[in-house]
Amino acid sequence: MTEATTHAAATPTPLPAVRRRIGSDLSARGEPYVWMMGAALVAGLGMIIGLLGYVFYVGAVTFWPQQLATVTTLDGRMIAGEVFRSEDYRVPDAVLESLPAETRAKIAGNLGIARRTMYRVGNYDLFGEDFVWVSDFEKKSVTFDREMFFVERLEWGAFIGKVKGIDLDGKTVSRPDLKSLTAAVRAGEVRRRAIEVIETGEINDINHALEELRLDIRRAEIDYGASSAEVRAEKLRVEKESNALRAQFAVFEKKVTALRSTDERFTITLEAIDGRTKTLSLSRIVRLYPANAMTADQKWSVYFGRWIEFLTAAPREANTEGGILPALVGTLTMMVLLSLAVAPFGIVTALYLREYAKQGPLVSFIRICVNNLAGVPSIVYGVFGLGFFCYVLGGSIDQIFYPERLPAPTYGTGGILWASLTLALLTVPVVIVSTEEALAAVPRSMREGSLACGGSKWQTIWRIVLPSAAPGVMTGLILAMARGAGEVAPLMIVGVVKLAPELPIDFTAPFVHFDRSFMHLGFHIYDVGFQSRNSEAGRPMVFVTTLLLIGLVVSLNAFAIIVRERLKRAYQVGSF
């Protein structure tokens, strides 16, 4: 610096003659850095595509009907089941000693490693296990019996075996053909549905009405005192009405009992591979198919039938079978509520911070705080949600609006509203930051144009700035939704449950039940994968549910991106 000043003051010295190097080495041209960047990108893409590809593959093949192998072992055991997976393992010494010399030598030649296969044998009620390992050296033969059936039941999981016969109200058919079998199962399903309609429809409604009547008395007691005349009148009325309801209830119950006893006369007898039989009502069967004697069309129909069941039915067997409709509905409802809560709140906050607040150290500090909020562990939000939303807010709501239900909480416990608000709190920094950026990016000339036309600040923001910033705001919402969809930890303590008896949205008023606990795809994955009786059995469901969750997030994002592109086209800021 000083040198430069002296030079400037003195007579200018000529530049020293430097011979410049011709050409440049690799590091100067920068290619290695470009390669490095490319490699990093490829590694990242590879991981993402690998993960998605694996999930997609496993999820997509899970419902495909597998062949049923019948394995006869050297010691005469018979095992029938689907091939689940194979692996190499080191044969334990105790097992080795029991083997004949020839097999032992073979295994020793293979460094003590042998291959084994896991068969899904089903019949949990008979065998006490769903899966059986069979080593290759134990196998005598593997056949594919065309009469083997794969039977999905409502209880006890799958049954693998032969159909011995069906009993249609006294008319017995031994070894029925597939057509009559399918027809019988269909008829059984119709009977089951008829019972379900009464149980979940009418009987459920009566139970709700009875509960309401009980609450009417409580309400009267709270309003007028326990021994007042009003309570006595109310009790009389309730007594009369509940008697009427109970009479109705008895009628329906009788109907159901009649249907049940009819239903029990239609049975199927199944025979497992070891010769044991099992007789059950035909209506307890979801689906059966002869796995080894199917055409491609039949396989596809089983495949799609399982997908449809998966998407439209409630789960059974501790969530490892059946569908995930409640989780799907719960997740979607939560995300919609989350967006409804986070969008106005985040946008209004960002508007004030960017447009109205006097920029200074305080605003900068608030901005830093908002950014830091995005880094707080999500479980902390969960704890806050439980403490503030559920206990403080919900508890007050219960005391003011639902005193008759206490001590049973209505809003004073986890529910879909509190879960959505907790997630909204978690994702609001994302919306604030991106909205602020979008507002800052609106050209000054636009604002000046509007102000010069006599627009007030608010008119300028409302008519010019916000529409121009809308695509950026949408980007923030997309990010917030994606983040919200992936959260599980905070939800576990503010309203997500393993099995929700009722959906948060249904056809009884008020249609959206904010107080209800709900099921969530992310929690469902955790629950099925790690909390079930047999995590091996739940594994396919984990992948299918993951696939669905990813699909849901992708489609929500795609929808938001389409909206954003439309806004962009409409409010593109022109230049020439």
Partner 1 sequence: MSTRMTQAKADDFGSTVYHPVEGSGAVSIEVKDFNLWYGESQALWGNTLNIYKGLCTALIGPSGCGKSTLLRSMNRMNDLVDGVKTTGQMLLDGEPIFGKQVDVIALRKRMGMVFQKPNPFPMSIFENVIYPLRVDGVTNGKLLRETAEAALKGAALWEEVKDRIDQSALGLSGGQQQRLCIARAIAGNPEVLLMDEPCSALDPIATSKIEELIDELKGKYTIVIVTHNMQQAARVSDNTAFMYLGRLIEYGDTKAMFEKPKVKRTEDYLTGRFG
Q: Name the residues that contact partner 1, by CB under 8 A.
A: 443, 445-456, 459, 463-464, 467-468, 570-574, 576
What's the min distance (Å) between Cβ of 360 and partner 1? 10
Task: Name which of 125, 156, 145 is nearest 80 in CA terms.
Answer: 145
Which residue lies nearer to partner 1 by CB, 135 or 459?
459
Which residue lies nearer to partner 1 by CB, 30 or 449?
449
What's the min distance (Å) between Cβ of 365 and partner 1? 19
82 DSSP β-pair partners: 68, 120
CA atoms of 118 and 47, how far apart (whole Å)? 29
Cβ burial, residue 73 (10 Å; 0-12/13-18/19+): middle
E-assigned strand segments in 66-130: 68-73, 78-90, 113-120
CA atoms of 576 and 334, how far apart (whole Å)? 44
Which residue lies nearer to partner 1 by CB, 189 or 355?
355
Which residue lies nearer to partner 1 by CB, 403 or 455?
455
Contact 133, 118 (CB under 8 A): yes
73 DSSP β-pair partners: 139
Which residue lies nearer to partner 1 by CB, 413 or 450?
450
**Amino acid in position 391:** Y
Q: Which residues of 304-342 are buried (b: 16+ CB within 10 A; e: fewer)?
A: eebeebbeeebbbbbbbbbbbbbbbbbbbbbbebbbebb
The continuous run of DSSP H or E covering 158 comes out as strand 158-168
Which DSSP category does 96 fall into? H
Which residue lies nearer to partner 1 by CB, 184 or 461?
461
Which residue lies nearer to partner 1 by CB, 179 or 569?
569
What's the min distance (Å) between Cβ of 431 and partner 1? 22
What's the min distance (Å) between Cβ of 461 and partner 1? 12
Which residue lies nearer to partner 1 by CB, 370 or 464?
464
CA atoms of 312 and 316, how far apart (whole Å)? 13
Matching residue, tokens 């309401």: 212
CA atoms of 414 and 410, how far apart (whole Å)? 9
What's the min distance (Å) between Cβ of 437 and partner 1? 18
What's the min distance (Å) between Cβ of 474 and partner 1? 15
Which residue lies nearer to partner 1 by CB, 355 or 536?
355
Q: Which two tokens stand for residue 555?
A: 């489609």
What's the min distance (Å) between Cβ of 575 and partner 1? 9
What's the min distance (Å) between Cβ of 353 and partner 1? 16
What's the min distance (Å) between Cβ of 555 and partner 1? 29
CB atoms within 10 A of CB 463: 12
**Distances in whole angstroms, Cα of residue 507 to Cα of each of 360, 388, 412, 510:** 52, 30, 24, 8
What's the min distance (Å) between Cβ of 482 and partner 1? 28
Which residue lies nearer to partner 1 by CB, 505 or 563?
563
Query: Is omega for the bond preceding 510 within 30 degrees of 0, making it cis?
Result: yes
Question: What is the number of alpha carbons within 13 Å of residue 7 lying toward its C-beta?
Answer: 8
User: Which 3-state string (H, E, C) describes 7-30?
Assistant: HHHCCCCCCCCCCCCCCCCHHHHC
CA atoms of 506 and 447, how far apart (whole Å)? 47
What's the min distance (Å) between Cβ of 445 and partner 1? 4
Which residue lies nearer to partner 1 by CB, 460 or 475?
460
Which residue lies nearer to partner 1 by CB, 17 or 452?
452
What's the min distance (Å) between Cβ of 441 and partner 1? 13
What's the min distance (Å) between Cβ of 449 and partner 1? 4
Residue/partner pairs of 371-379 with CB below 8 Å, 24 or more apart: 371/429, 371/433, 373/428, 373/429, 374/429, 374/430, 374/433, 377/489, 378/426, 378/487, 378/489, 378/490, 379/489, 379/490
Contact 368, 397 (CB under 8 A): no
Which residue lies nearer to partner 1 by CB, 383 or 446?
446
Which DSSP category does 565 fall into? H
